Amino acid sequence: MSWQRIRIARFGGPEVLELAEEPVIPDPGAAEARIKILAAGTGFTDSFIRRGGYPDFKGPLPFTPGYELVGVVEKAGADVVAPREGQIVADLCVVGGYAQYAIRPARFLVPVPDGIDAAEAVCIPLAYLTAFQMLTRYRRLSAGETILVIGASGTVGTALLDLARHFGLNAIGTCSAANLTTVEQFGAAAIDYRAGDFVTSVRQLTAGRVGGAGVDAAFDAIGGSHFDRSFACLALGGILIGYGAQTMAMGRESIIAAGLGLARLKLWGALSFLFGGRRAIWYSITDRRVSHPEEFKADMAALFELLRNGAIRPVVIGREPLAAARNVHARIDAGGLGGKIVLLPWLTV
């Protein structure tokens, strides 16, 4: 029986995404499971990998992109006790999600509770887990405190806003004018980053704050020199969490500028006493999964419960077949989506 996957044979633009037909369904090895993929998430990180600039993946070529997947365990390899065959699971696979089947290490697979829509569930492993860990693992934020989300209409941005609403936090989000409504739907104050200096806007919005203007935490995936402005938005004792380098990924800043941005984070973190207790850190979901594997599964399980109970509501703006991957990536590269497009590998056009 043949099956389909998206194949990338060279790094480049959306045109390098090719729909390939494979003649044989692979069998899992020891400690592996074969997953029949029901949903694959798409996002900026996939686009970054496709262009060849992502630090955590440089090949080999060819490969199948797709950072996160949800599917059913169709066949378990030798010695695999859990998950069981027939169980719905999720995985942060980094590559391999844009396909009808994937072979994955069983130890990474996290069960998905019954009754959850696969397209919403696949929003959890990357975007929501990133947001959840940044909000809970570095500083205990209390209800009523204020956060700043840079790029608030993106997949991690909307996840941060959704979780902030759940935790009772006040949120401010920067976005383009076209996505102001998307941000405001989460109860956040929206700032058009093209309309002026957002640092001034943040200071104005928080002017009445006890202890002085500014936010308690800021989250920035832009990177490079942009970290300076996000750090300037912090109140005394606030924390900046950098988790991306979009300016470098899009070619708007050099790798040197991105490196300087990371150096600033380390400097602010090491010398926080010079900055009124303001500090900064770098977050990488793949690094943290390696260093804290027990947190990875625990946090995923907690998020799936929130999703099952309706406490969080991922923004899925499209459900497309594998054949639409090129068009989806073109839309991702254009920016301003305001939510997540999910590929459904068994959907026919």
Residue 349 included in any domain: no
- Residues 19 and 84 occupy one common structural domain: yes
Residue 287 included in any domain: no
- Residues 28 and 90 occupy one common structural domain: yes
- Residues 42 and 170 occupy one common structural domain: no
Phi, psi of 240 (to 5 degrees): -105, 130
Q: Encode pLDDT of 129-178 as tens digits.
A: 999 999 999 988 999 999 999 999 989 999 999 999 999 999 999 998 98
Residue 133 included in any domain: no
At 252 the pLDDT is 61
Rounded CA-CA distance 149/147 in Å is 7
Q: Domain ends where: 253, 282, 311?
A: 282
- For 215-254, where are the alpha helices, taking DSSP H only? 226-232, 246-249
- Residues 6 or more apart whose CB falls under 8 angstroms from that of 273 comprise none
At 248 the pLDDT is 54
- Residues 45 and 14 occupy one common structural domain: yes
- Residues 183 and 71 occupy one common structural domain: no
- Residues 6 or more apart whose CB falls under 8 angstroms from that of 126 comprise 41, 43, 45, 67, 68, 92, 155, 156, 285
- Residues 167 and 112 occupy one common structural domain: no
- Residues 200 and 75 occupy one common structural domain: no
Write the single-letter amino acid at 218. A
- Residues 154 and 207 occupy one common structural domain: yes
At 259 the pLDDT is 75
At 164 the pLDDT is 98
Residue 87 included in any domain: yes
- Residues 278 and 296 occupy one common structural domain: no
- Residues 164 and 273 occupy one common structural domain: yes
Using alpha carbons, list the distances in angstroms from residue 261 to 135, 159, 257, 342.
21, 24, 6, 32
CATH of the domain at 45: 3.90.180.10
User: Between β-strands 189-192 and 170-175, what pairing exists: parallel, antiparallel or unpaired?
Assistant: parallel
Which residue range is the domain that position 121 belongs to?
3-125+292-343
Q: Domain ends where: 252, 282, 312?
A: 282
Residue 149 included in any domain: yes
C-alpha angle 339-345-49 in degrees, rounded to nearest 5: 60
CATH of the domain at 214: 3.40.50.720
Q: Which residues of the chain have pLDDT under 70?
A: 246-256, 258
Rounded CA-CA distance 140/220 in Å is 18
Residue 348 included in any domain: no
- Residues 176 and 262 occupy one common structural domain: yes
Rounded CA-CA distance 122/224 in Å is 29
- Residues 55 and 178 occupy one common structural domain: no
Residue 130 included in any domain: no
At 331 the pLDDT is 95
At 78 the pLDDT is 87
Q: Domain ends where: 237, 255, 282?
A: 282
In the chain, how many domains are there?
2
Rounded CA-CA distance 124/318 in Å is 16
Residue 250 included in any domain: yes
At 1 the pLDDT is 80
